[in-house]
Structure 1
Amino acid sequence: MRLSSWKANLLSIGGRLTLIKSVLGSLGIYYLSIFRAPESVLQDLERIRAKFFWGGNKDKNKMAWVKWPIILNSFDKGGLNIGSLKAFNLALLQKWRWRLLSSPNALWVQVIKAYHGQEGCGTRIRFWKDIWVGETPLFTRYNRLYHLDQDKDCLIIDRINNGQWSWNWSGPILVLEILPIYVTC
């Protein structure tokens, strides 16, 4: 990377923040929108961004006055609204999944299905029990909702009706049942 040639200590912290958001935040946009980046790559990239932000270089570290995960947070959470590369990668991948499911007759979707088969549209992937979003099955992260679902072995395709999510709950969903899910995530 060419960051080592930058004299980060000659830039103000605002200048480094601008460079991180505009350049380092968009370097891998194509790769991150098509492929899930390995955790080690994301950690290395975050390390480079943090080192540059604090004014260090490849040979010398500078004092980090605030933990990098806090800096990544949004303004309302006390951060500088830089955003995590891992979250960015997952959001870009979800955008393609959403497009695939909401536009099943688009030409590019038909090409993907013809090339890769029908697995891409959720005809073989179980909604709750297979890993298709994140790093764990959804039933482990949303256990209370999983237990309220009447069809625990449903496929992704079973949950989509006319481009909208369709549910089959055993009873009404109360805010108190969902709230702990958001608190623990």
Structure 2
Amino acid sequence: MGVGVSKSDVENLAARLGYCLEIDKREIHEEVIGLEGTIDVIWGRLTLLKSVLSTLLVYFFSLFHTPSNVISLLKKLRRIFFWGGSSNDTKISWVKWEFILVSYGEGGLNIGSLKAKNWALVGKWWWHFRTESNTLWVRVIKSIYGRDGGLGQENLVSSAKGNSVWGNIIKIGKDSLNIGLNFNVLFDKKLGDGRDTFFWEDIWVGGMRLKDRFSRLFRLEVNQMASVKDRVTFIKASWEFLWQWSRNLTGRLVGELKDLGTLILGFTGLDHGEGKWICKVDNSEVYKTRVMTRKIEDLLLAGHCSNTSTMRNKLLPQKVGLFIWRVLKERIPVRV
């Protein structure tokens, strides 16, 4: 599980408490089978699909990187149910499923992608890891995976190996790179006065860690875990440096120190407030799962969007709107 306890021990304890750590495909299938035949009209199945079948596994989705075969099974079951089929009788799928998943504005029925929801929910742990840096669970993760929790770009591939819970959370960041989404750049930290940011270890200026860019200066630093506030502070209406070196700087080191000072003085992100994290998807100080899901869906379903939005009118019965949607898609069954 990633915390030094064998998986079998955790499973035995979970079984005693009545919990299951694995996604049971048969249980999912039985849930859908129980709904078969309960609603004969397509607009009723659409409503049930959004309210029930899309939320069955929210708990698992929020913690585990769902295997592709489970996603495929859920996709198949949802598609069969939407078109009125059953376990024994599969109906014709008149519209490709991906075209149905996209939002109303992109010509779909706004059902949503389960993979996108899974990635968005698990991605929230990336946000928690950054915003709850002083909590016990974050300190435990750091002790196992390093200061960046294995989420850093240089450690992403190696840390994503294995089947631990945190290892699966890391895998989301690795897999999302395949669609052009980098979780490492989705969150931006506003330093404030720098008390919560390490001067040498964190990436806060210049696009890389100062310990790597100015390695010789870093080796002479007395406190290598100093915060930004420990080294840069506001005194008498100007920013001042508070260096602490193990010996006097000479030669090339003086030049490097000058370059470091110039780099920092050109940085405009320091102020007198507290540091805070910003989710750059919507420039919010709060991680919004719905917004992140939509962002991921836009990338996953990019090739299935339509230039014509789905007509929506509160005064129009849902069955009429759905019929018009099928007409515009030219997917009405007719006899010639």
Note whether the superposition's TM-score is higher than 0.5: yes
Could you list the runs of 5+ residues in structure 1 that have no partner in the other structure?
146-154, 171-181
Greater shift, 126-135 or 52-61, is seen at 126-135
SS of match in other structure, 1:130: helix
Give 1:9 deviation, angstroms.
7.2
- Identical residues among aligned pairs (%): 31
Give 1:23 deviation, angstroms.
0.8
Query: Of 168, 180, 183, which aligns to 2:206?
Result: 168
Computed over aligned residues only, the root mean square deviation of the Cα atoms, in angstroms, reads: 3.7
Instruction: Look up the match of 1:62.
Output: 91
**Does the aligned pair in 2 maintain the 1:71–1:81 contact within 8 Å?**
yes
Query: Of 76, 93, 118, which aligns to 2:122?
Result: 93
Partner Cα distance (1:166, 1:43) in 2: 40
**Does the aligned pair in 1 maintain the 2:62–2:121 contact within 8 Å?**
yes
Give 1:136 deviation, angstroms.
6.4
Partner Cα distance (1:63, 1:9) in 2: 19
Q: Which has the larger radius of gyration?
A: 2
Letter in 2 for 1:34: L
- Residue 153 of structure 2 corresponds to residue 127 of structure 1: yes
Partner Cα distance (1:98, 1:62) in 2: 42
Partner Cα distance (1:66, 1:36) in 2: 28
Letter in 1 for 2:106: K
SS of match in other structure, 1:117: helix
- Residue 47 of structure 2 corresponds to residue 21 of structure 1: no
Q: Which has the higher contact order (CA 8 A, sep 6+)?
A: 2
Give the number of equivalent residue pairs: 157
Instruction: Look up the match of 1:174.
Output: none
Letter in 1 for 2:140: A
- Residue 140 of structure 2 corresponds to residue 114 of structure 1: yes
Give 1:45 deviation, angstroms.
0.5
SS of match in other structure, 1:104: coil
Query: Of 53, 61, 66, which aligns to 1:37?
Result: 66
Letter in 1 for 2:175: E
Partner Cα distance (2:146, 2:81) in 1: 39
Partner Cα distance (1:50, 1:40) in 2: 15
Instruction: Look up the match of 1:148.
Output: none
Letter in 2 for 1:59: N
Letter in 1 for 2:156: D
**Does the aligned pair in 1 maintain the 2:83–2:93 contact within 8 Å?**
yes
Letter in 2 for 1:127: Q
Instruction: Look up the match of 1:175.
Output: none
Greater shift, 121-130 or 34-43, is seen at 121-130
Could you list the runs of 5+ residues in structure 2 that have no partner in the other structure?
1-29, 158-169, 198-202, 209-297, 303-336
Partner Cα distance (1:44, 1:167) in 2: 45
The structure richer in helix per residue is 1
Give 1:88 deviation, angstroms.
0.4
SS of match in other structure, 1:34: coil
Partner Cα distance (1:48, 1:23) in 2: 13
Instruction: Look up the match of 2:267.
Output: none
Give 1:126 deviation, angstroms.
3.7
Normalising by structure 2, we get a TM-score of: 0.40
Partner Cα distance (2:150, 2:116) in 1: 26
Partner Cα distance (1:4, 1:69) in 2: 23
Taking a change above 3 Å as real, the CA distance of residues 18 and 96 of structure 1, as seen in their structure-2 partners, is same
SS of match in other structure, 2:153: coil
Give 1:31 deviation, angstroms.
0.5
Runs of 4+ in structure 1 deviating by more than 6 angstroms, as ranges, are 182-185
Give 1:68 deviation, angstroms.
0.5
Taking a change above 3 Å as real, the CA distance of residues 19 and 86 of structure 1, as seen in their structure-2 partners, is same
**1:23-51 Cα distance to aligned partner (Å, 9 max, x none):** 11111001010000000100100110010
Instruction: Look up the match of 2:258.
Output: none
Normalising by structure 1, we get a TM-score of: 0.68
